[in-house]
């Protein structure tokens, strides 16, 4: 591989765990616990368990594939090697959807916390801090935070990963404070009835889809992010050891954190108090007459939410990078700087997600991020099972325990969650992939045409 297309290995397993926790613990637990409570009631705890179990099975498949194929690109690369280019393109296209929406949505969420502060401190008009959908002109704070994260990634992967580790600690401390304040007020009466809307997805009289699985399909957003670790394979010093530790370690840490936060939340106040609130944890603290803790939690969110942007921005730029290096996007984008970072693709990614965050409303299509991720998880789990059948004796630095059971649970669970997503989301996801297949036909046709011209020129020269 040419030096300008090679990424520099600088990361160890502590960086990877911090990267995973930074991606996983974020807007999901800070906001989606309210959405989940609205759909499942106190059984949102069970929704977290189901989503976490499915993600854990997928994480184990990721860990095995990451050590067998320690290259950037995550699910896209594994699908390319194991199944083929067309499937890899669909998976990569789904990951682009996931990462673009997550980065943009978190940037808009961060802007929501920062905008009142900017208006009060500097007099910035709200029209410059809101999207046109809600009466503004452009969401400049969202674009600003994306630009800052892009700058960090262009400075260097190790430097940005170290800062990420510090901000992750801030975020974890804030959640520990929430549990410490809310858990002593736990009242078992708040858990009755435990599952008022049933287990499977069903449409209520108000037309809203509810149930434990409907909540799990949305709460799933709160768990994924460990796949961003797999995109760091080429930049990891000892991928055969560090990748499994990073992937599995971050998942275990986040499941424990989520269980504690969810139990403290639904036990502290009746679930309808914070159901569907944009700031459920802060609302619970204010309900418990703890305004100081609520302010601390909100301030910590403003400081630490950029860790989610950094992790997913990092993952998307690396997927773009590998797809460009494979010729499925312009190869000129797949070059790295003297510091070993892909500056061109990072700038390209910043333009894409910045445009979405600055001008497009994301509330109605945010579930599309889950659909893209579920498709990628299914592909990785299938790749793991295919390789167990195709090359059972191939060296594996990490072996998924109970591989067939784990893989089938991951695939079946992800399919069930896909079926539990809103019907409109499923339609949009189908349209997105049809568009992707059309673009694949265009890009692959042009690439084959250019390769044929080069081959003819070589033959003529000979």
Q: Is the sign of the CA dihedral 452, 454, 460, 462 positive or negative? A: negative
Question: Confidence class of residue 405 from pLDDT cuts 50, 70 and 90?
Answer: very high
Structure tokens at 86: 């067309």
Predicted pLDDT at 387: 93
Stronger pLDDT, 271 or 364, i.e. the higher one? 271
DSSP characters for 374-396? HHHHHHHHHHHHHHHHH-TTS--
Give the per-residue pLDDT at 119: 79
pLDDT, greater one: 289 or 171: 289
pLDDT category at 451 given cuts 50, 70, 90 is very low
Closest CA to 79 of 249, 282, 242, 319: 319
Per-residue confidence (pLDDT) for residue 342, from 0 to 100: 66
pLDDT tens profile 212-260: 888 888 888 777 666 667 666 666 777 767 777 887 788 788 878 888 8
Give the other-Cβ count within 10 Å of 125's Cβ: 11
pLDDT band at 432 (very low <50, low <70, confident <90, very high): confident
- Bridge partners, residue 214, by sequence: none
Structure-token pair, residue 190: 């708040």
Question: What is the end-to-end Cα distance of the chain in Å, rounded?
Answer: 25
From the candidate CATH numbers 3.60.15.10, 1.10.3720.10, 1.20.1740.10, 1.20.1250.20, the one assigned to the domain spanning 11-449: 1.20.1740.10
Please indicate whether residue 181 or residue 327 has the higher confidence score (pLDDT).
181
- Number of other CB atoms surrounding residue 208 within 10 Å: 14
Burial of 331 (0-12, 13-18, 19+ CB in 10 A): middle
Q: Which two tokens stand for residue 393?
A: 């004796």
**pLDDT band (50, 70, 90) for residue 366:** low
Position 410 scores a pLDDT of: 93
Is 388 a residue whose pLDDT tops 90?
Answer: yes
| pLDDT value of position 459 | 31
* Nearest Cα to Cα of residue 37 among 274, 213, 206, 287: 274
Q: How far is CA 241 from the centre of its chain?
A: 23
Q: Name the residue with higher pLDDT: 144 or 342.
A: 144
Give the pLDDT mean for 175-180. Answer: 88
- Would the pLDDT of 462 be above 60? no
Query: Between residues 48 and 73, which one has the greater pLDDT?
Result: 48
Structure confidence at residue 270 (pLDDT)? 85
| Separation of alpha carbons 114 and 299, rounded Å | 9
Asked if 349 and 18 touch (Cβ cutoff 8 Å), the reply is no
Tell me: pLDDT of 394 over 50.
yes
Work out the mean pLDDT of the chain and round it to a whole number.
77
Strongest mean pLDDT among 142-156, 171-185, 320-334, 355-369:
171-185
Q: How confident is the model at residue 404 (pLDDT cuts 50, 70, 90)?
A: very high
Least confident of 123-132, 339-348, 419-428: 339-348
The pTM assigned to this predicted structure is 0.73
Judge whether residue 4 has pLDDT over 60: no
Least confident range of 164-178, 298-312, 384-398: 298-312
- The pLDDT tens digits of the residues spanning 304-318 come to 777 777 767 776 666
Whole-number pLDDT of residue 455: 38
Greatest mean pLDDT range, 74-83, 116-125, 386-395: 386-395
> 236 in helix, strand or coil?
strand
Whole-number pLDDT of residue 283: 82
Please give the pLDDT value at position 384. Answer: 93
């Amino acid at each position: 591989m040419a030096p300008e297309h090679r990424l520099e290995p600088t990361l160890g397993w502590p960086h990877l765990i911090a990267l995973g926790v930074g991606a996983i613990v974020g807007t999901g637990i800070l906001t989606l616990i309210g959405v989940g409570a609205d759909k499942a009631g106190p059984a949102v705890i069970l929704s977290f368990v189901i989503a976490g179990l499915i993600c854990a099975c997928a994480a184990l498949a990721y860990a095995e594939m990451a050590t067998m194929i320690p290259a950037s690109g995550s699910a896209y690369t594994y699908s390319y090697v194991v199944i083929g280019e067309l499937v890899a393109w669909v998976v990569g296209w789904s990951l682009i959807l996931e990462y673009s929406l997550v980065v943009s949505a978190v940037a808009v969420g961060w802007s929501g916390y920062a905008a009142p502060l900017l208006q009060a401190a500097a007099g910035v008009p709200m029209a410059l801090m809101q999207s046109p959908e809600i009466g503004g002109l452009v969401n400049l704070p969202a674009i600003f935070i994306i630009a800052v994260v892009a700058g960090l990634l262009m400075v260097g992967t190790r430097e940005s990963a170290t800062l990420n580790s510090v901000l992750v600690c801030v975020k974890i401390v804030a959640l520990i404070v929430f549990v410490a304040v809310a858990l002593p007020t736990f009242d078992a009466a708040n858990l009755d009835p435990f599952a008022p809307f049933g287990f499977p997805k069903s449409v209520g009289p108000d037309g809203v889809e509810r149930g434990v699985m409907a909540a799990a399909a949305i709460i799933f957003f709160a768990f994924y992010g460990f796949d961003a670790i797999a995109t760091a394979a080429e930049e990891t010093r000892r991928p055969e050891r560090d990748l499994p530790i990073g992937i599995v370690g971050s998942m275990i840490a986040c499941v424990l954190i989520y269980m504690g936060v969810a139990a403290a939340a639904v036990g502290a106040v009746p679930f309808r108090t914070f159901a569907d609130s944009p700031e459920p944890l802060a609302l619970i603290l204010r309900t418990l007459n703890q305004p100081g803790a609520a302010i601390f939690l909100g301030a910590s969110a403003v400081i630490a939410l950029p860790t989610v942007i950094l992790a997913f921005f990092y993952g998307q730029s690396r997927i773009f990078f590998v797809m460009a290096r494979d010729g499925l996007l312009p190869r000129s984008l797949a070059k790295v700087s003297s510091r070993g970072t892909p500056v061109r693709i990072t700038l390209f990614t910043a333009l894409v997600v910045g445009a979405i965050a600055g001008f497009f409303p994301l509330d109605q299509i945010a579930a599309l991020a889950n659909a893209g991720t579920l498709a990628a998880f299914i592909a990785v789990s299938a790749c793991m099972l295919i390789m167990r059948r195709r090359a059972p004796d191939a060296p594996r630095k990490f072996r998924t325990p109970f591989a067939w059971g784990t893989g089938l649970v991951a695939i079946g669970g992800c399919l069930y969650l896909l079926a539990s997503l809103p019907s409109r989301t499923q339609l949009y996801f189908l349209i997105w992939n049809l568009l992707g297949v059309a673009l694949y036909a265009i890009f692959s046709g042009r690439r084959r045409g250019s390769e044929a011209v080069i081959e003819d020129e070589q033959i003529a020269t000979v």
